[in-house]
Amino acid sequence: MTPPRIALIAHDRKKDDMVALAREFRDFLAGCRLCATGTTGSRLQREAGLPVEALMSGPLGGDLQIGARLAEGGVDAVIFLRDPMTPQPHEPDINALVRACDVHDIPCATNLASARLLLRQLQRQG
Ligand SMILES: O=C(CO)COP(=O)(O)O
């Protein structure tokens, strides 16, 4: 079975949660193919010790890069810890990525509880 290809994205106020989640699922995630938006990816590399392909930062186009990859069939699941309390300058890019998940029927967890459910399920399938 090929390892799941997972995209990891977190807004600034959710980055600590993302690092904690990645540590919690570290053993599983270490066997996955991971990509992330720039700052999220750097933190995951540094603080969770995971090999992550860090794309551009979200506000500079990282969400769009992940959306494009996903549309081409290159992403199996998305964990996108969004901050619902803070307006983002790149809101259209965020909506485009979530829309791409819906268009292509790719699971997209946008909060911690659903992220845990998704990761547990992927873990079970492996
Ligand atoms: O803004 C983001 C997603 O919309 C996240 O980007 P960074 O991981 O580069 O902070």
- 59-80 as b/e: b if 16+ CB within 10 A: eebbbbbbbebbbeeebbbbbb
- CB 27: neighbour CB atoms within 10 A? 8
Measured by CA distance, the residue closest to atom 3 of ligand 1 is: 58
pLDDT, one tens digit per residue, over 92-119 is 999 999 999 999 999 999 999 999 999 9
Which atom belonging to ligand 1 lies closest to the Cα atom of 80? 3
Active site amino acids:
63
Q: Sketch the domain layout of the chain as residue ranges.
A: 5-125
Both structure tokens of 84? 């619902």
The answer to whether domain 5-125 has CATH 3.30.9.10 is no
Q: Does the pTM of the predicted model rise above 0.95?
A: yes
pLDDT at 18 over 90: yes
Taken in order 38, 7, 81, 64, the sign of the CA dihedral is positive
pLDDT, one tens digit per residue, over 46-67 is 999 999 999 999 999 999 999 9
Local structure of residue 25 (DSSP, 8 states): T
Measured by CA distance, the residue closest to atom 4 of ligand 1 is: 58
Is 104 annotated in a binding site? The answer is no
Ligand 1 neighbours (beta carbon < 6 A): 9, 11, 37-40, 57-59, 62-63, 94
